[in-house]
Amino acid sequence: MIRYRFAFGALRPDRFWWSLVQMVYSLCLVTIQATFDSVYLRIYATALLLVAFSAMAFRLDPFKFKDVNTASLALTYALLVFLFISVAFVDQDMLGKEQLESARKAFGYLG
């Protein structure tokens, strides 16, 4: 295990597979940013991914030390708050009319 301490050193021994979860999270994050065209879809899909990832991290406590788990969750929740606040700063004049209409229609189904 000393040989792979760079990858698994911060994790609990029974949560060694959390490194794979973090890589899948990173891959999903990059895929969301690369595939979605709408700014709103990017923000809300990223927020949904963050909620799922933080729920798993909250339930599993993958790191050895409680302070590291708390800091990781606090930073994830701070990023989630930042994403929801950033929706207000999207310049709607820069969006195409069809993007704006599709976003409004999608949000209309949710409300």
Note the pLDDT tens digit of each residue in 5-52: 656 667 788 888 888 999 999 999 999 999 988 888 889 899 999 999
- Cβ-count burial 54-82 (b if 16+ within 10 Å, e if not): beebeeebbbeeeeebeebeeeeeeebee
User: Among 62, 84, 58, which residue's Cα sits nearest to residue 73?
Assistant: 58
User: Among 107, 105, 103, 109, which residue's Cα sits nearest to residue 36?
Assistant: 103
Note the pLDDT tens digit of each residue in 70-105: 999 999 999 999 999 998 888 877 777 887 787 777
**pTM for the predicted model, two decimal places:** 0.80
Which two three-digit tokens encode residue 78? 């701070």
Cβ count near 85 (within 10 Å)? 9
